[in-house]
Structure 1
Amino acid sequence: MQPPIPRQSGREQDIRRLDDGAGLSAELAAVVAGARRRAVRDGDRQIDTAHLLHTLLESDPEVRAVFDGGRQIARLLGYLVQRSIGYGLRWQSTVEDSGAHPVLTEADGFSPLAAAALEYACERAARRGDDQARGIDLLAAIVVDPQARAVEVLARAGIDARDFSARIENRAEGRLDEYAGDGGGTC
């Protein structure tokens, strides 16, 4: 019997590396593992940006701090929980894709947008001189593409993704010194 979300095929080393947690902080590797478990429970073939958002909200205090308080987080979590019993059912058996990224096969484990978001999170970390992506990097990455399921969930909760993205960037700029690493590492 084939597992619901198979391990990475030979498509790209970068995706396999991210799936194994390389280039991700320990906290973010745990988020990816949690998103994988969530995808399996939801009956989804791939991890998508909504799985990643859900797990980030549950596990990362820095990510939660970007939101406008507990009511906004509670509303988001409410929509994300409904995903497996309500509106998210229409996502099952479909691939989260905006057309901007190459379509991956089911064996790749991540939707094209989730895979691109993980890569972007690593690139964002490298730009600030850190060799490991953090939750805030992934949050910034999953709200970039307007076709992402995470962006749809944000919209349902009354959060404009463009304004939210600007809030993340403003917060990151204000905390850049806190993020400074040993310099120049890449994911």
Structure 2
Amino acid sequence: MQSRIGDKGATGVVREGLFSAELAAAVTGARRRAVRDGDRQADTAHLLHTLMEADPAVCRAVDGQGEGQSVRLLGYLVQRTIGYGLRWSGTVEDSGSLPVLLACRAPGWSPAAAAALEGAFARARARGADRAEGTDLLAMLARDRRCRAAEVMRRAGTDTGLLAADLDLMSRDLP
């Protein structure tokens, strides 16, 4: 299903037709979640949370780490939303994956989130696809060891290195 998202706020990547419907829903949901939480920017944890809610393939990939791991991770993300995340409220996520100056180019997104979105599209292109899937974004989040999403995954018991490797193997089978 083709995405009809016309949002250009993340980077030059988030444009109509470049993300699957599930990934477009997650991107839109992450922005809404950040606003609702009172955060200045949507960060990688916002993306991970909405991605888990919007894309069953992402949950299946996380469950490859162990039966029920996606439920455990989603529970941890909910806990972050209702209290744990307050520590991060109003701060800029900078995982070091790219210069903070990108935040000026991608208003409304943390630098790490913008890099993950761009990386998801580049990953899709590398496997010959026209649209990025949720698992492309999940792989980018798992690879950036210093982003909030990876921290949340690790705290929930997910081995982010193994998850990224599993997603790389899976991507060879995708169009």
- Residue equivalent to 1:93: 90
| More divergent stretch after superposition (119-128 vs 26-35) | 26-35
State the TM-score, normalizing by the size of structure 1. 0.80
Secondary structure at 2:94 match in 1: coil
Q: Structure 2 vs 1, CA of residues 172 and 100 (structure 1 numbering), >3 Å: closer, same or farther?
A: closer
1:25 to 13, 20, 23: 20
Aligned to 1:159: 158
SS at match of 2:98: coil
The separation in 2 between residues aligned to 1:17 and 1:160, in whole angstroms, is 28
Structure number, greater radius of gyration: 1
- Residue-by-residue CA offset, 1:129-158 (whole Å, 9 max, x unaligned): 111111111111111111111111111111
Instruction: Quote the residue 1:38 is aligned against.
Output: 33
Give the root-mean-square deviation of aligned CA atoms.
Answer: 2.0
Shift of the alpha carbon at 1:70? 5.4
**Pairwise CA distance, 1:105:** 4.2
Partner Cα separation in structure 2 for residue 120 and residue 131 of structure 1:
14
| Mapping 1:3-152, distance limit 5 Å | 8=9, 15-18=11-14, 20-68=15-63, 71-103=68-100, 104-105=103-104, 108-152=107-151
Count the aligned residue pairs: 164
Counterpart Cα distance in 2 of 1:96 and 1:21: 26
Question: Aligned AA for 2:153?
Answer: L
Q: CA deviation at 1:118?
A: 0.6
CA distance in 2, matches of 1:168, 1:119: 17
Flag the 1:48–1:133 CA change in 2: closer, same or farther, 3 A.
same
The runs of 5 or more residues in structure 1 that have no matched partner are: 1-6, 9-13, 181-187
Separation in 1, partners of 2:105, 2:151 = 22
SS in 2 for 1:143: helix
CA distance in 1, matches of 2:16, 2:115: 15
Aligned-pair CA distance for 1:106? 9.8
Is the Cα contact below 8 Å between 1:66 and 1:168 reproduced in 2?
yes
Unaligned runs of 5+ in 2: 1-7
SS at match of 1:83: helix
SS at structure 1 position matched to 2:143: coil
Deviation of 1:84 after TM superposition, in Å, equals 2.4
Q: TM-score, normalised by structure 2?
A: 0.85
Amino acid at match of 1:15: T
Q: Distance in 2 between matches of 1:106 and 1:131?
A: 24
- TM superposition shift of 1:27: 2.2
